[in-house]
Amino acid sequence: MNKNLYIFAAILTTIVFLFGVFLGIEINVQQSEVLKEEFKEIDMMIKSANLNEILYDLNIRNETCNLSSRIVEKLANDSYATGIKVEKFEESKKIDIPTYKNLKKEYTLMQTQHYIFTRKLKERCSFDYSIILYFYNSKCNKCNDQGMILTDLKRKYVNDLMVFSFDADLDLSTIDAFKKIYNIEEFPTLIINEKKYGFMTNIEIEEIL
């Protein structure tokens, strides 16, 4: 009787475990689908921004700058919010989903497009917001602290500060290009208005914005 009870308990434990794994898969798949939809919205905004740049080249300067300013602000806020979801998804996932790395790569490419547009807009329309590129990797001891500092600053300065975060561990030629252009060898690395820095506190960053 006791032997049968042990067998039943073992079977029940296995069922509960498998159900937990299945539930984890379902939750993560649903989260990935939500992220995909948000990526589509951000991608459409980037395409719209690029069309505005073409309009700029047609000498419709004032109208284009005003319109682009509104787009870049919304794009910055939406992209930032989605980035936080991507990071939370990575931290909370119970199992490894093959599509996650692809989602993060896709987000990184959109971030790069957003950065290029934002930088061009700043130069062409004489906007005065600051731009920070933040590079981190999985072996960095201070990267979590640096990320929280940048999050606090973004909340404080909102549209006066554009922050773009990049995972240096991703196997992307875009990441390799960033590393080569800015000679990135240590992490965290901050590129603030095109000047390179290592780990920085809130106060140190605010002093140079």
Tens digit of pLDDT for each residue in 36-49? Answer: 676 666 666 666 66
How much is the pLDDT for 31? Answer: 63
Taking the domains of the chain in order of start, what are their residue ranges?
A: 1-127, 129-209
Highest mean pLDDT among 94-98, 121-125, 194-198: 194-198
Which CATH code for domain 1-127? 1.20.58
pLDDT band at residue 35 under the 50/70/90 scheme? low
Highest mean pLDDT among 98-102, 105-109, 130-134: 130-134
- pLDDT reading at 7 higher than 60: no
Q: What is the DSSP letter of 158?
A: G
Q: What is the DSSP letter of 139?
A: T
Tens digit of pLDDT for each residue in 171-181? Answer: 999 999 999 99
How much is the pLDDT for 114? Answer: 82
- pLDDT reading at 19 higher than 50: no
- Please state the rounded mean pLDDT for residues 145-173: 91
pLDDT band at residue 100 under the 50/70/90 scheme? confident
Contact 200, 149 (CB under 8 A): yes
Q: How far apart are CA 125 and CA 148, in angstroms?
A: 30
Q: How far apart are CA 51 and CA 19, in angstroms?
A: 48
How much is the pLDDT for 158? Answer: 86
Question: 189 by DSSP, 3-state: which?
Answer: strand
pLDDT band at residue 70 under the 50/70/90 scheme? confident
- Please state the rounded mean pLDDT for residues 61-71: 68
Question: 127 by DSSP, 3-state: which?
Answer: coil
State the chain's mean pLDDT as an integer: 75
Contact 98, 129 (CB under 8 A): no
Contact 61, 131 (CB under 8 A): no
Please tell us whether the domain made up of 129-209 is placed in CATH 3.40.30.10: yes
Q: Sign of the C-alpha dihedral, residues 197, 105, 156, 127?
A: positive
